[in-house]
Amino acid sequence: MRGRQCNQARRALLQRSAEVAGLLAVIVVTGNSEPATAKAAKSEFMYQDHPHDGNRCGQCKFFSVAGPDSEVGSCSIVAGAISRQGWCAAFVRSVHG
């Protein structure tokens, strides 16, 4: 009899835990959706306006150039004008770079 009560209590606890976990997942997803669209400040990724170990924004997968001859463009994760010659800690070499 006592074992049955323990099993019911354990089952209720597990069910409640699953409900809480589901609620937390919704909160996390909702909470992350807004920052995911906001860009980071240059300082957050130690942006500099010159290359680092030969790597530069013009080679990075997150860089978009303003024009074919432009030295300035934008980044999909760092805010503000981004130099083609710049670099930051989030650098990821483009397959085209």
Chain residues binding ligand SF4 by CB under 6 A are: 45, 47, 57, 60, 62-63, 75, 77-78, 82, 86-88, 90-91
CB of 66 to ligand SF4, least distance (A): 13
CB of 42 to ligand SF4, least distance (A): 7
| Closest CB to ligand SF4 among residues 62, 71 | 62
| Closest CB to ligand SF4 among residues 16, 52 | 52
Looking from the CA of 22 toward its CB, the CA atoms found within 13 Å total: 6
The tokens describing 83, both together, are 């130099």
The tokens describing 81, both together, are 């004008």
CB of 94 to ligand SF4, least distance (A): 9
Beta-sheet strands, E only, within 17-94: 63-65, 72-75, 82-83
The tokens describing 40, both together, are 């980071």
> Is residue 52 within 8 Å of 91, Cβ to Cβ?
yes
| Closest CB to ligand SF4 among residues 45, 72 | 45
